[in-house]
Amino acid sequence: MASSSSSMDRVSWRAQVLTRHLQQPSSSHSSVAPVLESSVCLQYAPPELSEKFDFDVREMRQLMDGHNIEDRDWLFGLMIQSKLFCPRNSGGKVFVSPDYNQSMEQQREMTMKRIAYLLDRGVFEGWLTEKGAEAELRKFAFFEVIGIFDHSLAVKLGVHFFLWGGAIQFFGTKRHHDKWLKDTESYVIKGCFAMTELGHGSNVRGIETITTYDTSTGEFVINTPCESAQKYWIGGAANHATYTIVFSQLHINGKSEGVHAFITQIRDANGNICPNIRIADCGHKIGLNGVDNGRIWFDNVRIPRENLLNSVADVSQDGQYLSAIKDPDQRFAAFLSPLTSGRVTIALSSIYSTKISLAIAIRYSLTRRAFSVSPNGPEILLLDYPSHQRRLLPLLAKTYAMSFAANYLKAVYVKRTPAANKTIHILSSAYKATFTWHDMKTLQECREACGGQGLKTENRIGQLKSENDVKSTFEGDNNVLMQQVSKALLSEYIAAKKKKKPFKGLGLEHMNDSCPVIPAQLSSSVLRSSKFQVDIFCLRERDLLNRLASQVAERQAQGESREYAFLMSYQLAEDLARAFSERAILQNFLESEASLSVGSLKNVLGLLRSMYAMVSLEEDASFLRYGYMSTENDAAVRKEVMKLCSELRSHALSLVSSFGIPDAFLSPIAFNWIESNSWSSVHN
């Protein structure tokens, strides 16, 4: 009744305010002027003045970034110093971000100028010529910083170094390394990567470009046999690239030996397109207009025999096909396994664009006020509204969880061995899809949480949506990648059962244990315990894997092929891939948490980990659909999310400050948004 009475009082108060407003006499009907009450204008106050910092943000940043902190900060400073990175003053601060008002052609040229600037200052030194985990981690650190400034710049570099350069490193042999890598690192050669076709994207095995071998000249002949075989979306091809890696079906003596990769020149040193090659522009895009995506046709283009990247297979001078791997399926798998580098870099960069948007939206919500809860009372900070906390803080917790998972993926990748290729392929597929979906969801929520200010290009979030949208489909469509994850898990299951051996690898060892038992009643302490969280995540994964295996087997028993049976079980496959990814992320989080001694940093990580777990439980209908939780326990989870939001509220500023992103790489609304929108700013 008290609540109802309070609600009626508020309605009455609002009605009185409106009545006074409507009945206020105008000057034309009364000689008595209305009384004007003084009003204090809004003033910006930095949130650091009122928010507390309960842990060392430098220590948290070290945990989040993981490595090369000084190198990252050096590169941040290098970019802020140059006018090429469009520094501008707003609200008493300097900000840097690309000028998206430039034309597509201007943006592309600015990308190349920025590359030249970074090249001259040694940023790319050793990216292809130095070996070892330390060199690779330094490269990753620089690449992540560059992506914080501009996704176009990062993609342009990624195509040149990770795709073109990576293909030569991994598909080529010493003769290719000696001839091409140093000139690639110094940009004497500008490379691109021609895999995708108009008619084939994720299905690399189905590409239609054909390469034959001419024994009379010792040359390969590359041809685009039809319009659907044109190479499409090739980053760097439209304007700048001089060479490309062409992925093509290799036909030897009338037999197709499958997809292979060939080094092919497409322009001379002066930028002129080579004979028998046609190049067209893919045109303007919703984002990434600093990258010159192009289309390529090959009209019987001849290249030397030595230009076949031959780490997996070769062709002799007299035209004999040579490979130690006789099985075409195994050969194709070995051929594509190095391509995981693209998925790894996309997964990593997605975390940083998520961090940018959260840092901006949360800082804004700590200084922007709206409405009051009592007549004539002060307006309330946006982040003090429980609904606003619910919008942003679970996304913040997920971002922390995925940061630790990204660091784990990076560590496995830089220390990779042939035995780890399967793990890297599956993890990079799952994490690339999970992280990029999370990135787009977070960008949209942060855009909305900033209201109209989120629409302004200078405030970055809206533009980041357009720039990063492509991540959901390039280097593998996310839905296809998640199906690959489930298919791999199913293969592991079938192999383990057939050999009657325990599960090993991919975190599936929990399948060897007895089935976890979930308590009938879930108290707050149980919900926050790592044991419960691991148990229920593992329960979901093992049950879904058992269900998928059972359903596929049942369909096969009815005469369907295993492939078709799997395709028709896609709903279970989607649920399983999500379960695998979220369980793996939770385990990565727990490993990072376990590395810390007891203290304030570990305490706040415990809150974040519990928030990640609770939101995952709340968002996935599988927990209710398959009976892992009752509706009562689902309600308890939802209630716990609200409690965690309240507890994390006081840490919000310190958590986004721990991202280590300099102020210049955020936006005006993250700081003094009143001053940056003042009349004086119009003339400055």
Tokens at residue 481, please?
């990648």
Quickly list H helices, 595-629.
600-619, 622-625
Distance CA(628)–CA(220), nearest Å, equals 58
- Please give the DSSP secondary-structure letter assigned to residue 121: T
Flag residues of the chain having pLDDT under 50: 1-8, 11, 13-15, 17-38
* Closest CA relative to residue 149, chosen from 356, 444, 448: 356
* Contact assessment for residue 592 and residue 407, using Cβ atoms and an 8 Å cutoff: yes
Architecture (CATH level 2) of domain 335-499+522-669: Up-down Bundle (1.20)
Distance CA(476)–CA(196), nearest Å, equals 10
**Tens-digit pLDDT profile for residues 457-486:** 999 999 999 999 999 998 889 999 999 999
* Contact assessment for residue 52 and residue 59, using Cβ atoms and an 8 Å cutoff: no
- Please give the DSSP secondary-structure letter assigned to residue 178: I
* Burial of 145 per CB tally in 10 Å (0-12, 13-18, 19+): buried
Distance CA(468)–CA(400), nearest Å, equals 19
pLDDT of 331: 86
* Burial of 600 per CB tally in 10 Å (0-12, 13-18, 19+): middle
The Cα angle at residue 128 between residues 124 and 131, in degrees rounded to 5: 115
Tokens at residue 554, please?
């049942």
Note the Cα 430 to chain centre separation in Å: 11
In this structure, how many other beta carbons lie within 10 angstroms of the beta carbon of residue 626? Answer: 15
Prediction pTM value: 0.92
pLDDT of 28: 39
Domain covering 190-327, topology: Butyryl-CoA Dehydrogenase, subunit A; domain 2 (2.40.110)
Distance CA(16)–CA(318), nearest Å, equals 96
Distance CA(553)–CA(199), nearest Å, equals 33
pLDDT of 9: 55
Residues that are catalytic: 475
* Contact assessment for residue 612 and residue 586, using Cβ atoms and an 8 Å cutoff: yes
What is the domain partition of the chain in residue ranges?
57-171, 190-327, 335-499+522-669
**Residue 95, strand partner residues:** 88
pLDDT of 32: 43
* Contact assessment for residue 277 and residue 299, using Cβ atoms and an 8 Å cutoff: yes
* Closest CA relative to residue 59, chosen from 611, 530, 652, 595: 595
